[in-house]
Chain A
Amino acid sequence: MNQKSTMIGVGLRPSHYPELEVNSETKVDWFEAISENYMNTEGRPLKMLLHVRKTYPVALHGVGLSIGSHDGVSEVYLKKLKTLADRVDPVIVSDHFCWSSIGGHYSHDLLPFPFQSEALENICKNVEKVQDFLGRQICLENISYYIKSKSDEMSESHFINEVCRRTGCGLLLDLNNVDVNAKNHGFHAFEFIKELDFNNVKQIHLAGPSQEEGFVFDTHSTPVPESVWTLYRQFTDIKKKVPVIIEWDENIPSFDVLEGEVLKARHIVTNLEAHP
């Protein structure tokens, strides 16, 4: 994706369909759609996605590929994803560094795996299969996790860098997830980010978590917090023009609130470009 200025967009959510149906002029540069919401339907959701696609670039962001599963990736899923991608012509296709299904059962959650060599080999094999099938690069997002394996053999950053290096997949860097993990597991967020190979970062996610009793929960239910904006400033100071999506999935506000978040991101980008 080549662009003159940083693309800043939001997640496409059904509660905003009525507004987007009548108003194609927004303050948003692009949208990101949850792939699974459009893979099994010929109904209004798909019509809306194709309607939005006429005006805006769209990314397809999955939550169900289960690319880290020991069972491998479902061919049924892949065929449906390819059909959708062929219809939508997305600028980015992404999913997560996670697994969600085993033994034919689905958790519908982004579950962490151990950062160990077997998991690394497994996910690389699966990424290659997906990229070959889709005929394009995919991006994977770092997840927030609330539990770790006792059998970790390497750091998360090393794991991510290795998957990208071995398979050529991109990194969708979720700064909120880094912030959540740093707070929950007690490490320095930007030190973690600096360990990542910035050449792999093809997209950024920003979102707001909620504070639960004893931990921070990645709910995408609040405005982007200052700690995440700080990470975004620090990242953008080093690498510019990485497309950004602002996610909001619970307690979803009106579209103009999301546009306000987009303007905040744009303000940061504009300032950094004016005073590099």
Chain B
Amino acid sequence: MRNESLKNWQVHFFSYIMNIEQSFLSKAISMNELSVRSCADIYRRGYSARLIESLGDTYSATWWVLGDDDFLKLANEFVGNIPSRSFDLSDYGEEFSNFLKSSPVIAEIPFVSDLASFEWNFKMLFHSKDVPAVENIFNLIGSNPDVKIRLLPSTVLWQSGFAIYEIWKRRESNVASLNEIDLDMRESILCRKLDGKVHMSYLEESEFRMLKQFETPRSIEEAVVNYQNLFGELTPESIQSLFSRIGILGVLGT
């Protein structure tokens, strides 16, 4: 065979790797005594193994909860459906949480999708740039109340109807330790990267809701109005108390 175009070779090779079609086998020569299929399968298996390994690295707690058989079965199915679209292998698998939501396993382990989502957020924060805490942001802007405030980019607000952080903390223990916690305990958590580490702190519901306002840059007044429209009236005292509590967290900047 001559004049096989480079593009054809690459498209058909990739289609074989992704188990889409097999015409690549007619374009290739094998090694040793092996068949062309056996040789091409080295690449097909490698593709699948690398993506599953990457999912395992990102979703180690999800793996722990599901156990080897279920995790590998689901990961294999996910890899068969979702190709990698980034040169960076660790970018792979953002959709895994949604995938779990639509899988039968969610009926048995209802928190598993939230756990996967938490792990993805953790990984993204781990690799994000360290941003120093901002002290007393509300004092700094005292002279200009219209200044827009935002949540620092090294921060994620996490909320779940399950005790995901408690589950995740136990990921290196025996899975039976999950029996020790109330899995249905609702949680609101501030996750932040500081000094090279990801820190977690529990938030009151009102703190979470107000911090959430600053995921979009807003003035304090805009945030309060928005909060009140969504969650009801706040007294001047409760506003002051709330802002003094979230101010000292150091996660708001201009």
Contact = CB atoms under 8 A, between A and B. Distances in A.
A109 B29 contact: no
Interface band, chain A: 35 or more
CB-CB nearest 8 A-B residue pairs: A64-B87, A151-B4, A42-B129, A41-B127, A184-B31, A70-B7, A150-B1, A106-B84
A150 B34 CA distance: 16
A77 interface: yes
Contact of B126 (A43, A107, A113, A148): A43
B11 A102 contact: yes
A133 interface: no
Interface of B: 1-7, 9-11, 13-14, 17-18, 27-34, 36, 38-40, 42-43, 46-47, 50-51, 83-91, 126-130, 196
A271 to B, nearest CB: 34
B33 A150 contact: no
Interface in A118-153: 118-119, 122, 146-151, 153
A36 B89 contact: yes
Contacts of A103: 11, 14
A111 B13 contact: yes
A40 B88 contact: yes
Given A47-B196, A102-B14, A149 B9 contact: yes
Interface of A: 36, 39-44, 47, 64, 66, 69-70, 74, 77, 99-109, 111, 113-114, 116, 118-119, 122, 146-151, 153, 184-186, 214-215, 217
Nearest to B30: A147
A43 B90 CA distance: 13
16 contacts: A42-B129, A47-B196, A64-B87, A69-B10, A70-B7, A102-B7, A103-B11, A108-B84, A111-B13, A147-B43, A148-B29, A150-B4, A151-B4, A214-B38, A215-B31, A215-B39
B120 to A, nearest CB: 14
Contact of A70 (B10, B30, B40): B10
A151 B9 CA distance: 9
Given A70-B6, A147-B28, A151-B2, A109 B85 contact: no
A146 B10 contact: no
B11 to A, nearest CB: 6
A224 B196 CA distance: 36
Given A43-B196, A118-B5, A150-B28, A105 B89 contact: no
Given A70-B6, A102-B11, A103-B11, 11 more contacts: A40-B90, A43-B196, A70-B10, A100-B87, A105-B84, A106-B83, A107-B14, A111-B13, A149-B9, A149-B28, A151-B1
B43 A107 contact: yes
Given A43-B127, A147-B43, A36 B88 contact: yes
Contact of A214 (B9, B13, B34, B89): B34
